Chains A and B, each alone.
Chain A
Amino acid sequence: MTKVTLTVNGRTMSGECEDRTLLVHFIREKLGLTGTHVGCDTTQCGACVIHMDGRSVKSCSILAVQASGSAITTIEGLASQGELHPVQAAFKEHHGLQCGFCTPGMVMTAVDMINRHGGSLTEEKVRTELDGNICRCTGYHNIVKAILAADAEMASGRQAAE
């Protein structure tokens, strides 16, 4: 057993685990943050996407020990003081989720996408950037719509702040 220490959603958290433990299982089972999901075993569906040191990654394909020392943001850490993040709000507004299982990964992906391409997203670009996330419920239509709306909303927020 190895001790793994992470800064998760701003709080330092540790736990003991086997070296073979995947980061996603550590987060779900040791830290009790079950919002991050596992939908496949071949690094494809993206239900497990989190941010590690500011980069969006698939936590099903990283060992917890590999991540030790990193700063992690999970879906639980996105809303602040009960206020939904603009991406979360846009998913609700545009019905960008149905069963909710792929949703945490989709939202974390969308936040990262807007961080990297904020203000310049097009429908085509959003669809390409969703390459690593599979949704079986929505046909992606409303997910794409929600991400574009959140991008516009956040861009206008940035402009207002400037």
Chain B
Amino acid sequence: MGVEGIGARVTRKEDKRFLTGKGRYTDDMTVPGMKYAYFVRSPHAHAKIVNIDLSAAKSMPGVIDVLDGKELQADGIGNLICGWMIHSKDGSPMKMGAWRPLAVDTVRYVGDAIAIVVADTSGEARDAAEAVVIDYEVLPAVADVTAAMRAGAPQLHPEAPGNLIFDWQIGDPDAADRAIASAAHVTEIDIVNNRLSPNPMEPRATLGIYDSAEDHYTCYTTSQNPHVARLVMSAFYNVAPENKLRVIAPDVGGGFGSKIYIYPEEIVCLWASKKTNVPVKWTSDRTEAFLTDAHGRDHISKVRMAFDADHRITALKVDTIANLGAYMSLFSSAVPTYLYATLLSGQYAIPTIHANVRTVYTNTVPVDAYRGAGRPEATYLLERTIETAARELGLSPAELRRKNFIRSFPYQTPVIMNYDAGNYEASLDAAMQAADWNGFAARRSGSEARGKKRGIGMSCYIEACGIAPSAAVGSLGAGVGLWESAEVRVNAVGTIEVLTGSHSHGQGHETTFAQLVAGRLGVPIESINIVHGDTDKVQMGMGTYGSRSGAVGMSAIVKALDKVEAKAKKIAAHLMEASEEDIVIENGELKVAGTDKAVPWFQVALASYTAHNLPSGMEPGLKETAFYDPSNFTFPAGCYIAEVEVDPETGETDIIQFVAADDFGNIINPLIVEGQVHGGLAQGIGQALLEAVHYDENGQLLTASFMDYAMPRADDLPSFKLSHQNTPCPSNPLGIKGCGEAGAIGSPPALINAITDAIGTNRLTMPATSMKVWQAIHAAH
């Protein structure tokens, strides 16, 4: 059997347990004495809590206890926080309203948690929750950002007059205005980025276990970043000091951003476990997930793009309003600022860019990062705008893009980012060829003959992954550093455990990370185990989001491996009486280069632990730790092309083909990378065609189940045509960029560009449901 190293299509090590029902998710955990929690939640979008009467609920069958926010507060449990400070352009800090884990005096969205019931069964807990009597004074509510900014709108937090959280800008407004005033052509467009519910298939769950003998807490939770959860719960929520709190994120059934954040339920279940002296498990149902998981996107923007007579972009000016919901979630402030406006240059050389971003409170679920986080918003805005410009100027969309591509690297954009490498034309060419762009006209005629409207549209995206250089993000307001850690632990028999601060919830780290090690050492992939997701096992780590685990997490493993190899070489040199510089590691052996002298890997490992014959002064053992702090973001980029056929009678869109050409730099496992792209595309296509969260004017959630929120299903999607171009990333040792979010970032504008091309009108917002497309066709004719 050959070694399955970098570049091999290795099938996943973790698959067998998932395929045989042996995955261990949080809701699968049971411990002796465990009881079930149900949360009492606000049915109102905005109300004062006048009185809470728990007495009837406490006497219901099976009930252990019912606890509310006053008790929580009295026990010193802190408020939830946003971890990224943004300052308004007037220098004032963002206005963070208090978010209590259990609301005490005011509720601000439907689903705001008020009390927890702990009972013998989940049915009894829910029965008792209905017996909690709460007197509300219902207040006027506002769910829409525009309405929330109007004079006289309901006010959510006393800290934030006018519901304004911050009014932030990037770039030079005057330079942008001047460029627009002197432009040969200006394209103006209003852009709406629809609000989405992430909906990983595993609903959130948590199991809080308090051990009174040790005064110690264990928290099983559906988290993308257990260490950050522990840090935040210790440092800000006062649940317990870090050494008294173990957080375990076992198998996690998808996250897409929504499981980054520390939600009230983890905190409250841990606290309730201490109060009731029983382990407390809570599992969200899907309706609760719609009501309480952080939503994504929800931007409205006004855009102006200026061109000179030669069709070169001279300026971009953007005014965005972002809905952050009722409270500021953990990363919420970073998403519409540094993860969004810094990508507004796209793949284009734009000398002047100015973006103004206002963030607003509304009586809706908090909004935070969802797959792509800011970058889909930037890409949709830019790619809809440049497509519109091409139509206005009568140019081919490919040629207008080509004319404005950045072609030399590194390239400093006017919005902070410094692109390190790329070849945008390569992806554009590959995509156009795969899509048979030139044959489209004939295909369109064929559709017309069948009474269908055919359209084609493209999108050239760039994103920033591998978040991020700690000093850089620190200077921009981040509350934490965004490095990653790794520990490579070689056992005495030569098998290896890699402990990583990254967390896999579908990404296949157990395979990809093992491939890296197998390739480096020439040992079988089966001899390597990846350990993650447990704060008692793994040293501090930052978790998985923002397509960072490859570029940052694996780079940390590389650093640790460098140290392990250096020590192993010293030992091997000593054993073979050779010079350390002459030792090479190949096929599971340490060899003296140019000779047939070699010791097997396991023998070096054994020697390190027997310590009978080590170089003088060397410590026994073979285990090394590394922390890797990236020097730059990475910049995956690519070109997507969608071809659609619209049924003018019903407005239904059929995706005829979808082509994705991506440059992710070097690829460790193409099988897994393709899977990441497929999934991202499905979410992007879902956003473009199907998905939207709707609230009514009173802040009631209208899309609170899969009955009303349209999830992409198999028959909504085509099979995808993928290709990869490769400009290796110069900013990390593996030359990799990140692939987890690209599909969701690049696909929505390609689809909307294709549909608007098909129906001959540009006035269409996402999701392009059959009704909206039908209406657009009728409005245009």
Contact = CB atoms under 8 A, between A and B. Distances in A.
Interface of A: 18, 20-21, 28-29, 33-42, 44-45, 47, 74-76, 78-79, 84, 88, 91-93, 95, 97-104, 107, 123, 126-128, 130-131, 133-145
A92 B10 CA distance: 10
Contacts of A78: 20
Contacts of B675: 95, 98, 137-138, 141-142
Given A84-B16, A92-B16, A95-B11, A131 B713 contact: yes
Given A41-B705, A131-B713, A131-B714, A136 B21 contact: no
A137 B679 contact: yes
Contacts, number: 185
B136 interface: no
Contact of B711 (A74, A99, A136, A141): A136
A135 B24 CA distance: 18
A20 B123 CA distance: 9
Contacts of B683: 136, 139
B106 to A, nearest CB: 28
Contacts of B14: 100
A92 B15 contact: yes
B499 interface: no
A99 B199 CA distance: 13
Given A34-B28, A136-B683, A88 B706 contact: no
Given A92-B11, A98-B675, A140 B19 contact: no
A39 B201 contact: yes
Given A39-B201, A97-B15, A136-B199, A79 B20 contact: yes
A130 B14 CA distance: 24
The SS class assigned to the B binding surface is loop
Nearest to A126: B714
Interface string B647-686: 0000000000000000000000001101100111111000
A29 to B, nearest CB: 8
Contacts of A93: 11
Given A42-B286, A44-B707, A100 B720 contact: no
B25 A107 contact: no
A98 B677 CA distance: 12
A143 B20 contact: no
B589 interface: no
Nearest to B18: A100
Nearest to B200: A136
Dominant SS among interface residues on chain A: loop
Contacts of B672: 95
Interface stretch (B84-92, B172-180, B234-242, B247-255): B247-255
A33 B123 CA distance: 20
A76 B456 CA distance: 46
Contact of B23 (A20, A38, A100): A100
23 contacts: A34-B21, A34-B28, A35-B20, A35-B21, A38-B27, A38-B203, A40-B706, A41-B286, A75-B20, A78-B20, A84-B19, A99-B252, A100-B23, A102-B201, A127-B714, A128-B714, A134-B201, A134-B711, A136-B682, A137-B506, A140-B717, A141-B678, A144-B719
A56 to B, nearest CB: 16
Contact of B254 (A36, A79, A98, A104): A98
A110 B287 CA distance: 27
Contacts of A127: 714-715, 717
A75 B20 CA distance: 6
A98 B705 contact: no
A133 B679 CA distance: 15
A96 to B, nearest CB: 9
Contacts of B17: 100
Interface residues of B, number: 59
Nearest to B681: A139
B679 A84 contact: no
B586 interface: no
Question: Which of A38, A79, A128 has most chain B Cβ within 10 Å?
Answer: A38
A136 B11 contact: no
A91 B19 contact: yes
B256 interface: yes
Given A130-B715, A138-B678, A141-B720, A41 B287 contact: yes
Q: Name the residue in A28, A75, A95, A102 with the highest tally of chain B Cβ atoms < 10 Å from its Cβ.
A: A95
Nearest to A47: B201
Given A134-B713, A136-B679, A99 B202 contact: yes
- Which of B16, B675, B683, B705 has the largest count of A CB atoms less than 10 A from its CB? B675
A142 B672 CA distance: 11
A140 B201 contact: no
Contact of A98 (B199, B508, B714, B715): B508
Given A93-B11, A99-B254, A131-B714, A76 B21 contact: yes
A128 B713 CA distance: 9
B706 A134 contact: yes
A26 to B, nearest CB: 12
Given A74-B21, A128-B715, A131-B714, A39 B705 contact: no
Contact of B19 (A21, A44, A97, A141): A97
Nearest to A75: B21
A147 to B, nearest CB: 10
Contacts of A40: 285-286, 705-706
A101 B253 contact: yes
Contacts of B714: 126-128, 130-131, 133, 135, 140, 143-144
Contact of A45 (B505, B706, B717): B706
B253 A99 contact: yes
A18 B124 CA distance: 11
A45 B679 CA distance: 17
Interface in B14-67: 14-25, 27-28, 30
A95 B123 CA distance: 37
Nearest to B684: A139
A123 B679 CA distance: 18
B475 to A, nearest CB: 35
A104 B23 CA distance: 10
A33 B715 CA distance: 31
B763 interface: no
Contact of B21 (A36, A39, A91): A36
